[in-house]
């Protein structure tokens, strides 16, 4: 079985200390492991169509109705037109929302909400928070009395 790193690209120069050498070996090992796991994932069979409907999403209500947005990659919420979810006057309390108020991104298999500004008030289930791992059913409020978004993980609860 071959080694998961590329020996040819490793700098074996004697000018490196033992700490640097160990750090580089660990980096190459980690990099090789990531490549192996990516290969395994790509060769797996595609998920069933029933699983395609599953996925994390945000829901919210405006004066125009109730809406939902499937989370994929990184999304931003705010009043700027460049945001993925643009908060306008149809949202209750929209005056409390900043240009790019909140960012939601997937990190290590979990969805994390990050306020884009330290002065931007974000409440998670009624409590002010900074960087927060989102759990199914959590309510995210932008500002003290601003719009409310509900996070849904899309995963079936384990029994």
Listing DSSP states for 50-118 in one string gives: HHHT---EEEEEETTEEEEEE--S-EEEESSTTSSEE--TTSTTGGG--TT-EEEEEETTEEEEEESST
Q: Which domains does the chain have, with CATH numbers?
A: 7-42 (no CATH), 55-152 (2.60.200.20)
Report the pLDDT value the prediction gives residue 37, as an integer from 0 to 100: 42
Closest by CA to 58, choosing from 50, 48, 47, 66, is 66
Contact 116, 124 (CB under 8 A): no
Report the pLDDT value the prediction gives residue 107, as an integer from 0 to 100: 87
- Between CA 80 and CA 88, with CA 85 as vertex, the angle to 5 degrees is 60
Report the pLDDT value the prediction gives residue 120, as an integer from 0 to 100: 87
Mean pLDDT of 34-41: 43
- Between CA 77 and CA 59, with CA 111 as vertex, the angle to 5 degrees is 50
pLDDT at 26 over 50: yes
Report the pLDDT value the prediction gives residue 52, as an integer from 0 to 100: 32
Q: How many CB atoms lie within 10 A of CB 79?
A: 18
pLDDT tens for each residue of 43-78: 333 333 333 336 899 999 888 889 989 998 899 999
Report the pLDDT value the prediction gives residue 63, as an integer from 0 to 100: 87
* Structure token digits, residue 142: 């932008």
pLDDT tens for each residue of 143-159: 998 999 999 987 755 54
pLDDT tens for each residue of 84-142: 999 999 888 888 898 899 999 998 888 999 998 888 899 999 999 889 999 999 999 99
């Amino acid at each position: 079985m071959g080694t998961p790193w590329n020996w040819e690209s490793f700098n074996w120069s004697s000018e490196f200390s033992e700490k640097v050498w160990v750090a580089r070996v660990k980096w190459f090992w980690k990099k090789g492991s990531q490549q192996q796991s990516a290969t395994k994932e790509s060769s797996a069979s595609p998920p069933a169509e029933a699983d395609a409907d599953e996925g994390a999403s945000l829901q919210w209500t405006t004066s125009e109705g109730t809406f939902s947005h499937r989370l994929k990659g990184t999304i931003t919420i705010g009043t700027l037109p460049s945001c993925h979810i643009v908060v306008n006057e149809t949202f209750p309390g929209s005056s409390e929302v900043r240009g790019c108020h909140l960012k939601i991104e997937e990190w290590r298999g979990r969805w994390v909400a990050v306020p884009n500004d330290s002065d931007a008030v974000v409440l998670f289930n009624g409590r002010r928070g900074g960087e927060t791992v989102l759990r199914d059913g959590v309510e995210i409020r932008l500002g003290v009395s601003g719009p409310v978004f509900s996070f849904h993980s899309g995963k079936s609860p384990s029994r």
